Structure 1
Amino acid sequence: MLAKVPADLRRCQILGLVGTAFIAAGGETAGALPVRELLTPSSPRAALGLVGAYFGVVLLIAAWLLLGRLVRGPDKPSTRELMAVLVIWSLPLLLAPPLFSRDVYSYLAQGAMADAHMDVYSHGPALLGGPLADEVAPMWRNTAAPYGPVFLGVSSALAKASRGELPVGLLGMRLVALLGVALMAAALPRLARHSGADPAAALWLGALNPLVLLHLVAGAHNDAVMLGLLGLGLVAALGRWPILGAVLVTLAALVKAPAVLGLAAIVVLRIRAGDRPVRAVLTAAASAAATTVAATAVAGTGYGWIGALNTPVSSGNWALTSLLGRATGALLERFGSDLAPLAVPVCHALGIVTAAAVIGCIWLRLRPRPVYALGLSLATVAALGPAIRPWYALWGLFLIAAAAPSASVRHRVAGVTGVLALATLPSGGSADAGQLVLAVSGGVLALMVLVQARQTARAAVTGRTA
Structure 2
Amino acid sequence: MSDTVSQTVTIVAIVLSCWGVLGMLRAHERGWRPDARLLFRLGALTALAVANLTPVGSSDMASYAAYGRIAALGGDPYVTTPARLGGAYAHLVSEGWRNTPSVYGPVATWWQGAAAFVGQERPWLTIWALMLANAAVFVGAGYLLLRTADDPVRAGLLWSANPLLIGVLVAGGHLDTLVAGLALCAIHLARRSTRWHHDLIVGGLVGLACGVKVSAGLLGVGLAMPLLRSGAWRPAARQAGAAALTLAALYGAYGAHALVPLSAASRLVSTPSLWAVFDRYGTAALGPHTTATIVSVLWPVVMLALAWVLRRGPTPDAPAVGALPFALAFAWVLAAPWSMPWYTALAWALAALFRQGRPTQCLTVATAVLALSHNSGGHGWTW
- Taking structure 1 as the reference length, what is the TM-score of the superposition? 0.70
Q: Does the residue aligned with 1:118 lie in a helix, a strand or coil?
A: coil
Using CA pairs under 8 Å that are at least 6 residues apart, name the structure with larger relative contact order, 1 or 2: 2
Letter of the structure 2 residue corresponding to residue 323 of structure 1: V
Alignment of 1:373-388 (within 5 A): 373-388=324-339
Alignment partner of 1:239 is 2:196? no
Task: Map 1:322-401; keep pairs closer than 5 Å.
Answer: 322-330=276-284, 332=285, 339-355=286-302, 357-358=304-305, 361=308, 369-401=320-352
Moved more, 362-371 or 163-172: 362-371
Q: Distance in 2 between matches of 1:416 and 1:105?
A: 25
Aligned ranges for residues 189-268 of structure 1 at < 5 Å?
189=146, 192-193=149-150, 198-240=151-193, 241-267=198-224
1:129 correspondence with 2:86? yes
Say if 1:425 and 1:353 are closer, same or farther in 2 by CA, change over 3 A.
closer
User: Given the superposition, is the C-alpha separation of residues 233 and 53 from structure 1 closer, same or farther in structure 2, using an over 3 Å criterion?
Assistant: same
- Judge conservation of contact 1:232–1:248 (CA < 8 Å) in 2: yes
How much does 1:224 deviate? 0.6
1:309 has 2:233 as partner: no
Instruction: Give the drift of 1:386.
Output: 2.6
Question: 1:68 — aligned with what?
Answer: 25
Aligned mates of 1:83, 1:150 — CA distance in 2: 27
- How many angstroms does 1:133 deviate by? 1.0
Q: Does 1:280 align with 2:231?
A: no
**Quick check: 1:61–1:418 contact (8 Å CA) kept in 2?**
yes
Paired residue type of 2:259: I
What is the alpha-carbon distance in structure 2 between the residues aligned to residue 71 and residue 376 of structure 1? 22
Deviation at 1:192, TM superposition (A): 4.1
In structure 2, stretches of 5+ residues that fail to align are: none
* CA distance in 2 between partners of 1:139 and 1:173 (Å): 22
| Structure 2 Cα separation of the partners of residues 258 and 395 of structure 1 | 10
| Equivalence for 1:108 | 65
Question: C-alpha deviations, 1:18-69, integer Å up to 9, x for none?
Answer: xxxxxxxxxxx46xxxxxxxxxx3xxxxx44444444544554454444334
- Does the 8 Å contact 1:322/1:347 carry over to 2? no
Structure 2 Cα separation of the partners of residues 157 and 60 of structure 1: 33
Q: Distance in 2 between matches of 1:166 and 1:65?
A: 37
Distance 1:134 1:127 in 2: 11
Post-superposition offset of 1:213: 1.1
The match for 2:273 is 319
Any idea what the Cα deviations from partners look like across 1:295-351, whole Å, max 9, x if unmatched?
345xx4333333332133656644222431112223x1xxxxxx3223431242133
| Identical residues among aligned pairs (%) | 25
**CA RMSD, 1 decimal:** 3.1
Distance 1:285 1:416, change over 3 A: closer
**8 Å Cα contact 1:113-1:120 kept in structure 2:** yes
By how many angstroms is 1:289 displaced? 2.7
Cα distance in 2 for residues equivalent to 1:278 and 1:319 = 36
Q: Which one has a bigger Cα radius of gyration?
A: 1
In the alignment, structure 1 residue 425 sits paired with structure 2 residue 375: yes
Cα 1:212/1:301, change in 2 over 3 Å: farther
1:442 is aligned to: none
Matched, 1:413 2:363: yes
- Alpha carbons 1:243, 1:283 under 8 Å: kept: yes
Number of equivalent positions: 371
Superposed displacement of residue 183, structure 1: 3.6
Query: CA deviation digits over 1:202-250, x for unaligned, max 9?
Result: 3312443334211211000111111111111111112232222221121
Once structures 1 and 2 are overlaid, which stretch shifts more, 260-269 or 374-383? Answer: 260-269
- The Cα offsets for residues 146-171 of structure 1, whole Å up to 9 and x where unpaired, read as 11101101111111121121221111
Alignment of 1:22-101 (within 5 A): 29=1, 41=3, 47-101=4-58
Q: How far apart are 1:362 and its partner, in Å?
A: 6.5
Amino acid of the structure 2 residue aligned with 1:396 = A
